[in-house]
Amino acid sequence: MKRGVLIATVLLFAALPLMSLAQEQGDPAENTYGLWKRNFASPTYGVAFFNSRVEWKGLESTQSSFNKGEFMVPAVDLRIFRGVNVSRRGGFYTGAEVGTIIFIPVSNKDFSDTIVVDDIEMAYTYGPDPYTFNVEVFGGAVFIMMKYGLRYDFGASLLGVSLGFELGAGAALQVGGYRIVTDIADEDTGSDQISFNLIVEPSAEFGVRLGKNFRFLVKGGLILMPPIVQDEKMFDNYVLYDGTVNSPEEYRRYALQGYDVELNPVAYDLRVGFALNFN
């Protein structure tokens, strides 16, 4: 079975250039005038993976045994690309792409910490308090990029395969933040903000063309987008020194503000979609 699939694949790739050559010799009018479609639309759908870091940044009157850790943040990636001045059979092209990245708020890793809080106002020490916590990243981004690409197509008029490369750059509007949750459901803290950032994406594609105008695509690349700079004022601060005895829940929530979470500016992206040429 495996040998049959391998032989069929080799024969397909060997036959495509010959079929293309035969077509060129048999239809010179199309070679001269019929290969160009000035526009194409290409929606793609996929996932992106952002590496994220959580570390203890320090907090007044609080000691922590946690240093830092890393976890992966998945996201849904939805886009539509409009290209201009592109040949049905490949070549250079330019265009604009709009899309959205939506983080999936999943807690896929647990971290352990032990805290001690010295309440100077009440001359009281809370802890040591061992617990586990996880981080949920929420929000996402909408963006627009100008793109420049090169696609090489080989095959016959009814069937072909293509390889291509794209480079895009533009602007992104990011919104969101993170939430740190412990074993007590109400003990969470977070930060949410809005910011404008640059976005750059180099990517490669593999396509299968059916007919002259329709192409299935698989694209993979890197997303380069600076993370949101969190504002500490956005935290839900508990006043530790308020002259009253705090509950264990309040001490715990106060300590959760000592963590800092940041997304890596480089993400991995994988999408599938199609391209449709039209005049």
pLDDT by residue for the chain (279 residues), tens only, comes to 444 544 444 334 444 444 444 344 444 434 443 455 567 788 999 999 999 888 888 877 788 888 888 999 999 999 999 887 665 567 788 899 999 999 998 776 788 888 888 876 666 788 888 888 888 888 899 999 999 999 888 888 788 899 999 999 999 999 888 888 887 644 455 566 788 899 999 999 999 988 878 889 999 999 999 877 665 544 445 556 565 667 777 788 878 888 888 888 999 999 999 988 776
Burial class for 244, CB neighbours closer than 10 Å (0-12, 13-18, 19+)? exposed
**pLDDT score of 87:** 59
Q: How many residues does the chain have?
A: 279
Q: Domain 36-278: which topology?
A: Porin (2.40.160)
Nearest to 131 by CA among 183, 178, 179: 183
Q: Which of these, 108, 245, 125, 107, lies nearest to 188 by C-alpha position?
A: 107
Cβ proximity of 239 and 118 under 8 Å? no
Can you give the pLDDT at residue 25? 46
Number of Cβ atoms within 10 Å of the Cβ of 63: 16
Supply the pLDDT for residue 10.
39
In this structure, what token pair is assigned to residue 83? Answer: 């290209």
Beta strands in the chain (DSSP E): 36-56, 62-64, 68-87, 90-103, 111-119, 124-155, 159-182, 188-210, 214-224, 259-278
Residue found by looking up tokens 């935290």 in the block: 235
The reported pLDDT for the residue numbered 131 is 87
Distance between CA atoms of residues 279 and 213, nearest Å: 10
Which of these, 142, 139, 64, 131, lies nearest to 99 by C-alpha position? Answer: 142
Residue 23: predicted pLDDT: 43
